[in-house]
Amino acid sequence: MSPDLLRAYLLGQASPEDCAAIEERLFADDTFEALLAEAEADLLDDWARGRLTPADAALIPQRFPKPKRDLARALLLAAKPRRKPLHPQRWALLAAAALLLLAVALFLRPGPPRVLIAEIRLQQQATRGTNPPLYRMQAGRRIRLSVPKLDDGFLDWKLQIEPGAPIAAEVANGRVFADFDLPDGRHQLLVSASRTSGGLLELVAVYPFELRRDVLQKSPLEK
């Protein structure tokens, strides 16, 4: 049985015939049980990394209990190098250095600030088997990515385009948005939030999309 089929079963998306075949093997074959358990672990690890489609990612909290999801997220964090907490004295030095840099930057600021000219409003969608939506715009400008606020129970929304770090998002009029400098190509916007202020971030949605800048053609998305 293919990994895709096992994954579909675990997400509750397999056909009744496939479910019956999988369940019969589960009871008859211990090696198959281990394969299914591994498919479960890999599925949760992919979810923690933001590698699932939005439709599949949305099923994870309904299908798997919190301890399994916590473990997948913790293993992902454990595999990444972690920064050591800074000594208070070093914090003070860094803060002073940051203030100095800010003062220099304001004094030496070359010309007007960069202007945001395009906003992409990403809609939640299932992308299984299809290309991500393509957004075209004028070259060389920043963009604002905006997505619907899917759940009112969350606080501290963060948006992230890998490999960049998550950035704090603004929330207004039922939408979550942030500005990015992005190269052309395919990207995935990861939307995370926590249920309590400063709490553990949960992946809420993933939006794959493709960005292409045209030098001559003016984008209809430009304001």
Partner 1 sequence: MTKDGLDRLLALLSADPERAAELYLHLQRKLTRYFEWNACANAEEFADEVMDRVARRVAGGEAIQSPVSYVLGVARRVLLESKSKMLLLPLEGDVGAVEEPTQEATLARLDDCLASLPPESRAILIEYYSAESGERIRIRQEMADRMGLTANALRNRCLRLRRNLEECLQKRAAGDDHVA
Selected range binding partner 1 among 94-102, 129-137, 170-178, 199-207, rule: CB under 8 A:
199-207
Among residues 18, 53, 61, 125, the one that binds partner 1 under rule CB under 8 A = 61
- Using the structure block, give the residue that is written with the tokens 């971030």: 201
Among residues 82, 83, 87, 109, the one that binds partner 1 under rule CB under 8 A = 82
Residues 161 and 103: their CA atoms lie apart, in Å, by 29
Residue 181 binds partner 1 (CB under 8 A): no
Closest to partner 1 by CB, 129 or 140? 129
CB within 8 A of 180, min separation 6: which ones? 142, 143, 144, 145, 159, 161, 164
Residue 9 binds partner 1 (CB under 8 A): yes
Residue length, the chain?
223
Closest to partner 1 by CB, 70 or 214? 70
Specify the 3-state DSSP secondary structure of 105. Answer: helix
Among residues 111, 129, 198, 220, the one that binds partner 1 under rule CB under 8 A = 198
Closest to partner 1 by CB, 145 or 204? 204
Lookup: tokens for 167: 């950035």
Query: In the sheet where 134-138 sits, what is the strand order?
Result: 134-138, 202-214, 185-194, 155-161, 167-168
Sign, CA torsion 71/73/74/80: positive
Interface positions, 22-41, toward partner 1 (CB under 8 A): 23-24, 26-28, 31, 33-38, 40-41
Q: Give the binding site for partner 1 (CB under 8 A).
A: 9-10, 12, 23-24, 26-28, 31, 33-38, 40-42, 45-46, 49, 51, 61-68, 70-71, 73-79, 82, 194-196, 198-201
